[in-house]
Structures are given as C-alpha cells and as structure tokens.
Amino acid sequence: MCSGDDKNCPEYEKHKREFMGELDHERRSFMKSAFATAGGTAALGAGGISLVTPTMSAAAEKHQPSDRSYHHLPATADTVHWGYFSKNLKPQVEIDSGDFVTIEALTHHANDDAERMIKGDPGAESVYLWTKDKKGVDRRGAGPMDASLYGRGAGEGLGVHICTGPVYIRGAEPGDVLEVRIIDVAPRGSRNPKYAGKAFGSNAAAWWGFHFKDLITEPKEREVITIYEVDATGERNWAQAAYNFQWTPQTDPYGVVHKTIDYPGVPVDHATVKENHGILNGIRIPIRPHFGVIGLAPKEADMVDSIPPSYTGGNIDNWRIGKGATMYYPVAVDGGLLSVGDPHASQGDSELCGTAIECSLNGTFQLILHKKADLAGTALEELDYPMLETQDEWLVHGFSFANYLAELGEKAQSDIYSKSSVDLALRDAFRKMRHFLMNTKGLTEDEAISLITVGVDFGITQVVDGNWGVHAVIRKDIFAGVPA
C-alpha cells in the first residue's frame, strides 16, 4: 500500500526507489521532447491564432525564470484531495510560470472494477486503501467528517472527484489569468498483468442522471455500471464495452450499506453483482481523452463540493478539454491552486446518464501566468469565466449560475442542485459569448448578437453536475479576414 511515501511501511526504501526510478524515467522521456528545451514555449504558441498575442507572451515571460522546470505530481494518498476544492489546501508542488508539470489523475470510479483499475497500481492502491480500520483518503466530499448528514461516510460524498494537487503557481494573485496548456494526455494502463496494454474506464448510469426517472424497462430506477476497455498502447482510437452490471447494495469496509451510488470509492464486491458480457457488441466509442475537472480554488468558501463547475473552472466536463487545448482561468486566490481530476476516456455533449467513461489519465501541462497589470486592452482583460481555446475554435462555458457560490448565498452548495436548467446555462453562455465578442473582438452589441446567431453553435455540455452547462463555440477562421 506504500508508494514510496509512507515511512512506516516496512518496505519504504524499496518502494521509494521504485517510485523515483519510475518518475525519473518519465522525466527523461519528457526532456527529450522539444517542449522543455529552449524556445519550446514560443514554438507552442506559434501553432495557430491564439488569444495570447506575441506581446502578451513577452509580457508573461518577464515573470518567468529563464529556465523552464519540469515537475511530476504523482497521484497518491498524500497528493490528492477527494471531492472538494479548498483555498486552504497545502500545495503539493510549487512552480514558476512557464513550467511544465505532469499530473496523474485517478478516476473516482476505479473501485467499480478494482481488478482492472487498481490492482497492482501503487498510486491507485494508496488512494483507494480502505480496510475495516483505515482509509487511504478519509475525507471524500465537502460534507461533515462525522457523516452526520446522511451517514454515508467522511465528507458525505458531497463532491466525488479525486483531485491531484493543488499546484501553487508562484506570483499568482486574484485578478490574474492562468493559461493552462494541455500538452499531452495519456491513459493510465492497467497494472494488473492480466490486462497489460489495456486501460479501463467505468460509466455509471446513476441516480443523478438525466435519464433516471425516465426508464422504460424494468426494474425501474436501477443504476447500471458499464466497464469500457481502452487501448493503452495508443493504437486504437475507440473504446469498447467489456461488460455491465446493475448496482446492488454494497457494504463498505466500515460496514455502511450503500444502496445507491452515494459515496465515492466504495469497493464493488463482484460476487454480489451479475456481469453481463457481450454487450454493445462491435460498437466503437470514439475516444476523446480529457479532464472533467481542471480548476483553481474559489475564494468564496473554505470547502467547496467538487461537483458543480463555476467561474474558476472545476468540473466543466467538456470533452474538448484534451490534448492540444488551452484553458484560461481567472485566478481567485494567491498561488491559484490548480487541481486536476475526473479523467475521462470519452463523453458525449450532455453526459446524460451521470458520468463519462471515467478512466485514469496522466496529463502534461504548461502553466503560464498572465498578470492583471499586463491584461489591459488584451483578450484576457476582465476574464471572469473559464474559457477554452482549441486549434480551430474558441469556446465559452455557460452555467446555470456563473458563480453559484456568490449568487446563491449561504446555502449555495445545496441549493444549486435544485435550481439549474439548460435554459439558464444557455442564457449565461450567450452573455459570455457576447462579452467575448464585444470586449475581445471589439464588436458592437448588435454586431455581436447577429454573429452569435449566424455563426456560433451552442451545445449542451452536461446536465448532471448540479450547475448545468452549455458551451458556445466560435470558429477562429470567422476572423481570418479582419484587418489587423
């Protein structure tokens, strides 16, 4: 259960050596790439039209050390926080603007099939450790530690994602904007020799899904887990179903019975479920590896449920937040405090049944800080929402409530679950896209509204994360003819 981080482990020294060796190997592979060598930053930026102009790049570089550093943040019981964001969390790593960091992200659904997704994986084993006496990570969610609300367990599962971090970005202050470049995303292969070369993910059709009260076949109001297989060698761009099973009441190691999927990381006893193999025969799900959760700590509360997305990002659940994409987030607290979690192999717009193909991934990021003082007159001035840039598109993310913590008052964290609608999220996405076009592109309101109507596509990001989401997509080439 020790991944080189538990000094009480009898084999601590051995595990530590293994872990460091592994880390070194990854580090060396990475250093061979062009990204971390001199000029790497410039090369990345030159790939397409970006919100970040050369002038902005130069301004940002003034706050960066001349040498880029590379960091690796493994996912272990010590480096993750489960189910919440907090501005009070101790940083796991402190980095400079411009640095690169590989962050391991573990899916919080790995215990749906521990054989495939945990066994033999020291990091995952340390996080998921749960005996009758001990949990590797006790708090799961932003709720009370004594489970006095629902009796589910510490943190009450009010928030479910295993988040790795936070990363402290030196010099980041409220009002700044953090640019997060997603350099690479790779599936975390199964460490069980039986499944070498494969990675796995779990899709839970759960009680919080949009479909749940609307089933047409019996038994009604069932929850169903579908385990998907992903090729970890990178040769196949699709996932396929391995099997599914209906959730049965699961008794956790502390003796609490979970009739529904109400607490993250409950080990599923496969002796109690009926696995249906041969399902979705021949069906190939296009993979879209991405991170459901990338977020900074919000300033409004000490403990924030990881489920509803908000102005500092978090659980946006947009499958476009994958390799090659760049996110921009407003910084709300000193250091920014970036965490990454909820890795997905794939998801459709809406994430209808409650979850994606939840599948552990490793991500490599470059983090670039844009200081508030440098933002006047730029595309990032006054950015107070999370914005996505891909090679060909810009996207804004609308939520039912743009900043639900500030808007809904003291009970925001519970009220948000009953107040959302797609209509509200569309309203917010419209307003954000209008803001983007007026502020960043200098259009009048009439120009912006016409362009939004004839050239912007609105899609449903998710309807399962408390604060529902709609994204608005605008193609960059719409501006190809605009005079400089």
Encoding tokens for residue 400? 């039912």
Q: Residue 418 has which token pair?
A: 């009953």
The smaller minimum CB distance to a second copy, of residues 339 and 347, is found at 347
- Among 127, 172, 268, 356, which residue sits at the site for a second copy (rule: CB under 8 A)? 356
Q: Which is nearer to a second copy, 239 or 293 (CB)?
A: 239
Shortest distance (Å) from residue 459 CB to a second copy? 4
What are residue 105's phi and psi, to 5 degrees? -120, 125
Q: Does 419 bind a second copy (CB under 8 A)?
A: no
**CB closer to a second copy out of 242 and 297:** 242
Single out the residue of 12, 150, 210, 254 in contact with a second copy (rule: CB under 8 A).
Answer: 210
Q: Which residues, 6 or more positions from 98, have their beta carbon under 8 angstroms from its beta carbon?
A: 41, 60, 61, 64, 65, 68, 366, 367, 368
Name the minimum Å distance from CB 441 to a second copy. 9
Instruction: Write down the residue that tokens 């099939």 correspond to.
Output: 113
Based on the shown chain and the rule CB under 8 A, indicate whether residue 217 belongs to the binding site for a second copy.
yes
**Toward a second copy, which CB reaches closer, 51 or 89?**
51
Site string for a second copy, 236-275 (x = CB under 8 A): ---xxx--x-x-----------------------------
Kindly state whether residue 380 participates in binding a second copy, applying the rule CB under 8 A: no
Q: Which of residues 36-95 bind a second copy (CB under 8 A)?
A: none
Interface region with a second copy, contact rule CB under 8 A, candidates 40-48, 93-101, 283-291, 376-384: 283-291
Give the per-residue contact string, 132-161, with a second copy (x = CB under 8 A; - = no).
------------------------------
Among 2, 124, 169, 452, binds a second copy (CB under 8 A): 452
By the rule CB under 8 A, 285 interacts with a second copy: yes
In the range 453-482, which residues lie near a second copy by CB under 8 A? 453-460, 463, 470, 475, 477-482
Buried b / exposed e over 324-357, threshold 16 CB at 10 Å, is: bbbbbbbbbbbbbbbbbbbbbbbbebbbbbbbbb
- For a second copy, the closer CB: 254 or 458: 458
Q: How far is the CB of 386 from a second copy (least distance, A)?
A: 20
Q: Determine which residue in the list 162, 353, 369, 383 makes contact with a second copy, applying CB under 8 A.
A: 353
* Sole binder of a second copy in the list 164, 203, 360, 413 (CB under 8 A): 203
Kindly state whether residue 431 participates in binding a second copy, applying the rule CB under 8 A: yes
Neighbours of 265 (CB within 10 A): 26
Question: 238: burial class by Cβ within 10 Å (0-12, 13-18, 19+)?
Answer: middle
If one asks whether residue 418 binds a second copy (CB under 8 A), the answer comes out as no
Piece in contact with a second copy (CB under 8 A), picked from 28-36, 66-74, 127-135, 450-458: 450-458
The residue range among 165-173, 183-191, 411-419, 426-434 that interacts with a second copy, by the rule CB under 8 A, is 426-434
Q: Is 66 left (phi over 0), alpha (psi -120 to 50) or beta?
A: alpha
Site for a second copy (CB under 8 A): which residue of 347, 360, 366, 467? 347
Task: For residue 122, say if its preceding peptide bond is cis, omega within 30 degrees of 0.
Answer: no
Q: Which stretch binds a second copy (CB under 8 A): 133-141, 157-165, 410-418, 440-448?
A: 440-448
Pairing of strands 276-277, 238-246: antiparallel
Q: Alpha-carbon distance 16 to 95, whole Å?
A: 23
Q: How far is the CB of 292 from a second copy (least distance, A)?
A: 12
C-alpha to C-alpha distances, 163 to 71, 96, 166, 222, 340, nearest whole angstrom: 17, 21, 8, 28, 5
Which of these ranges, 23-31, 249-257, 362-370, 419-427, lies near a second copy under the rule CB under 8 A? Answer: 419-427
CB nearer a second copy, residue 176 or residue 351: 351
Q: Show contacts with a second copy in window 307-346 (CB under 8 A).
A: 346
Nearer to a second copy, 355 or 364 (CB): 355
Total number of residues that touch a second copy (CB under 8 A) = 72
Please report whether residue 422 would count as binding a second copy according to CB under 8 A: yes
**Span near a second copy by CB under 8 A; candidates 117-125, 143-151, 277-285, 293-301:** 277-285
**Angle at which helices 422-435 and 445-455 cross, to 10°:** 120
For a second copy, which is the closer residue by CB, 94 or 447? 447
Please identify which residue in 426, 432, 465, 469 interacts with a second copy, judged by CB under 8 A: 426
Cα(120)–Cα(102) distance, integer angstroms = 21
